[in-house]
Amino acid sequence: MSDWVFERDAIRAFRFVRCGFDPATGVARLVYAFDDGPELVETVTLPGAPFALDDARAAAAERALQLLHLIAGVSYYKAAVPAEIRIEGYAIDADTATLLDAVYLNGLGEFAYRNGLDLRGRIRFPHLDDAAAPAPVLGLREHALVAIGGGKDSLVSIEALRAEGVAQTVTWIGGSQLIAACAAHTGLPTFNIGRQLAPQLFDLNRQGAWNGHIPVTAVNSAIIAFAAVVLGVDQVVFSNERSASYGSIIPGTGEVNHQWSKGWAFESAFGAHLQSHVAADLQYYSLLRPLSELAVARQFAKTDRYDAHFSSCNRNFHILGERPTSRWCGVCPKCHFVFLALAPFVPKLRLVGIVGRNLLDDPAQTAGFDALLEYQDHKPFECVGEGRESRAAMAALAQRPEWREDALVARFAREIAPQLHADGLRIEPLLVLDEEQRIPAALWERLRDRFAA
Ligand SMILES: CC(=O)N[C@H]1[C@@H](OP(=O)(O)OP(=O)(O)OC[C@H]2O[C@@H](n3ccc(=O)[nH]c3=O)[C@H](O)[C@@H]2O)O[C@H](CO)[C@@H](O)[C@@H]1O[C@H](C)C(=O)N[C@@H](C)C(=O)N[C@@H](CCC(=O)O)C(=O)O
Ligand SMILES: Nc1ncnc2c1ncn2[C@@H]1O[C@H](COP(=O)(O)OP(=O)(O)OP(=O)(O)O)[C@@H](O)[C@H]1O
């Protein structure tokens, strides 16, 4: 890393140096730096090059690339969180700055909390006073790039879109074999985007950089939106459920949402921004926004097509280090939650077969399930449903002969449920669909009945 020394607390500025895309190779380069330190270069590679773009689409691709550059910078900015942010080579308007201020502040909420940092008032993207010209209609082809993450949620979306006859390409970022296997198992066209973080980020981490969670869904969304413009298609579909909009309530701090960029605040702001600043006919939406985690679990239970392939356990998705030998580690909050959320809807034998064991009959996992229930702990910083969903799922299992003898279900019925109001333990109200979403109206009309049952 040359002679430059990373002194985290002495760094003054984070620089967005430049970004560029080569349609001949499909490689986008996103370049950043701290002060006058070495360039940090992240690459994003779209398969299928060369790409031929007419002038209007090339201009829109440039706008989408700049948005990606700005959002993906969060991985590097976090290493030092300097007071100044500089954008070189292009300029942004006030709307774009407002979006970025929100993505960085809220998306780094867990990072800031865990590191004892207060980023409020610190993150200010510089901007011009003039508003950008409204983005034009590009005449994009009707086709959906559907993000797949290897877990249950995106598979529910993919099957719903298939049933409704929506043309889709299953799209993912990175080299996960697990996601590739799930994608292949859909039997649909696939699109695997390469992403390499600047390797120096890991050196900075070793040298004492601030480190922690980043809003990875915002980054993935910006990558796929850029790909949609390059490919000339009109929809980017994610599978973020309603429950993702609710964070963990931390005594003395308030709400901290690990999943902020999976929430409605990000989806609504980012989707509107793409239409006003990138292409007026580019639609970004989450197909599962009207559903709670329990409602998604109910949908997933309807098919066993992916049982031997999918996993919701995030330990499968580390960039560095060893991958788990089993698809489900069985001890992390996501394994706990997905087991609990599926249990009311999936036959017990099938569920134990998927995860490899019965997590609800293992007293060693008591603390993990207590956190999900928000019992003597807060909801874990993970992609898990609301506490009321976990409590309602447990309460339902406590009524089922096949589950109620299991150690953690029996303990819930004996020790926790008596302290709770019975009305708050009903599953049915949590399965009601929400109308706060941005799914194209005609599609939602067709989907509503499917998701209501
Ligand atoms: C796989 C995972 O859960 N990783 C989180 C973990 O990182 P760790 O160091 O254990 O491993 P790596 O993921 O290999 O990361 C190495 C370093 O690189 C940084 N980094 C990674 C990706 C990126 O886009 N930018 C980065 O800067 C990372 O910070 C490491 O220093 O712990 C980290 C700290 O808490 C998390 O940030 C890692 O989370 C990944 C970014 C990740 O992809 N996580 C998803 C599985 C995830 O958490 N999804 C959320 C969605 C949240 C959202 O708002 O988008 C969810 O499903 O709830
Ligand atoms: N590597 C990836 N590439 C593209 N999209 C991704 C990737 N990882 C996650 N996503 C998308 O981000 C969103 C949130 O991911 P999340 O992990 O919650 O979903 P999932 O993997 O489909 O299901 P589960 O909640 O069971 O893990 C989903 O829309 C998912 O498709």
Tens-digit pLDDT string for the chain (453 aa): 568 899 999 999 999 999 999 999 999 999 999 999 999 999 999 999 999 999 999 999 999 999 999 999 999 999 999 999 999 999 999 999 999 999 999 999 999 999 999 999 999 999 999 999 999 999 999 999 999 999 999 999 999 999 999 999 999 999 999 999 999 999 999 999 999 999 999 999 999 999 999 999 999 999 999 999 999 999 999 999 998 888 888 888 888 899 999 999 999 999 999 999 999 999 999 999 999 999 999 999 999 999 999 999 988 888 776 666 789 999 999 999 999 999 999 999 999 999 999 999 999 999 999 999 999 888 888 889 999 999 999 999 999 999 999 999 999 999 999 998 888 899 999 999 998 999 999 999 999 999 999
153, 287, 309: which to mutate for ligand 2, most atoms within 8 A of CB? Answer: 153
The pLDDT, as a whole number, for residue 58 is 98
The DSSP annotation for 219-247 comes to HHHHHHHHHHHHHTEEEEEE---GGGG--
220, 237, 298, 300: which to mutate for ligand 2, most atoms within 8 A of CB? Answer: 220
Strand partners, 33: 15
Read off the pLDDT of residues 309-346 as tens digits, 9 standing for 90 and up. Answer: 999 998 888 877 666 678 999 999 999 999 999 999 99
Give the Å distance between the CA of 311 and the centre of ligand 2. 10
The pLDDT, as a whole number, for residue 247 is 86
| Token output for 206 | 């070793």
The answer, yes or no, to whether any atom of ligand 2 lies below 6 A from the CB of 192, is no
Specify whether the backbone of 254 is left (phi greater than 0), alpha (psi in -120 to 50) or beta. Answer: left
439 and 448 in contact (C-beta within 8 Å)? Answer: no
Q: Whose CA is nearest to atom 10 of ligand 2?
A: 149
The answer, yes or no, to whether any atom of ligand 1 lies below 6 A from the CB of 211, is yes
The ligand that comes nearest to the alpha carbon of residue 263 is: 1
Question: Atom of ligand 1 at shortest distance to CA of 111?
Answer: 35
The answer, yes or no, to whether any atom of ligand 2 lies below 6 A from the CB of 235, is no
Read off the pLDDT of residues 282-291 as tens digits, 9 standing for 90 and up. Answer: 999 999 999 9
ipTM above 0.95, yes or no: yes
First to last CA, the chain: 57
Q: What is the DSSP code (8-state) at residue 143?
A: E
How many Cα neighbours within 13 Å face the side chain of 207?
14
The pLDDT, as a whole number, for residue 376 is 86
Instruction: Name the pTM for this structure.
Output: 0.95
Dist CA 366 CA 177 (whole Å): 32
The answer, yes or no, to whether any atom of ligand 2 lies below 6 A from the CB of 151, is yes
Q: Whose CA is nearest to atom 30 of ligand 2?
A: 149
Give start and end residues of each alpha helix (H) in 116-168.
Answer: 152-163
